[in-house]
Structure 1
Amino acid sequence: MPNYKNIYTNLIRKKFPDREDILELMNKKTLTSLDIIQIDRQLHSPSEIKDVYSINQKFRSYDKNAILQILDHQKKHNYTNTLVAKEFGLSRNTIGKWKKIFLV
């Protein structure tokens, strides 16, 4: 697994030196995949994120912990599969599949 903490720390220091608030987010001992997504969203504008996510969609993967956090987020906010999929850049069918696997 890549060391996202080092990667994003270097990225922020070189390209976004004025964004010290994001470095505070990275003070956790380990970063989850959802933390990485949140940091990435805060660094880039919505149009940049849309372009990058559409290109890299097939390369993303989620561990069990991240999937359960996404499903918990859906339950907490009473979102439909479509809303959660749109928020996290996933397919609504993926959300449905995860629900069948992890919440049955």
Structure 2
Amino acid sequence: MSTVPDYKKIYWDILNEKYPEKKSRCIPILEKAKLAALDIIKLNEIIFDTDKQTEIFNQRHRMYDEYTISQILVYQEENKLNNSQLARHFKLSRNSITIWKKKYKK
């Protein structure tokens, strides 16, 4: 039995029951073979209206898996961003990016 929530099912249920008008914007994300943490964050942004304080609070409590970290670092390479630019884009700490690069890029 898997301990990871079935995010696709959860978001499909939310969209079908409460936000059918937002479904078309979410379909490209939900049709991916595997959802990364960035996909979950994007779905939340599309579906739920959050104020600035909630966004700041949620940012402080985010955790990224290795797959998502690798996607972020690939995004940096593809878009030729420095650590500061990448940090602003994903609302991350520059220190986190530096640590990830040391740990995952060999």
Instruction: Give the structure-1-normalised TM-score.
Output: 0.80
Deviates more, 1:13-22 or 1:48-57: 48-57
Amino acid in structure 2 at the alignment position of 1:82: S
Conserved? CA contact 1:53–1:89, under 8 Å: no
TM-score when scaled to structure 2? 0.79
Return closer, same or farther for 1:83/1:96 CA change in 2, 3 Å cut-off: same
Residue equivalent to 1:90: 92
Look up the match of 1:4.
7
Hey, what does 1:13 align to over in structure 2? 16
RMSD across aligned C-alpha pairs, in angstroms? 2.0
The equivalent residue for 2:54 is 52
One-letter code aligned to 1:12: L
Query: Could you say which residue in structure 1 is the equivalent of 2:66?
Result: 64
Q: Which moved more, 1:29-38 or 1:66-75?
A: 29-38
Paired residues of 2:38 and 2:68 also in contact (CA < 8 A): yes
Report % sequence identity. 34
Q: How many residues align?
A: 102
Unpaired stretches in structure 1, ≥5 consecutive residues: none
Unaligned stretches of 5+ residues in structure 2 = none
Q: Deviations over 1:32-89 (max 9, x none)?
A: 22221222233345xx264333112343211111101100001111112122112212
Deviating runs (4+, > 6 A) in structure 1? Answer: none
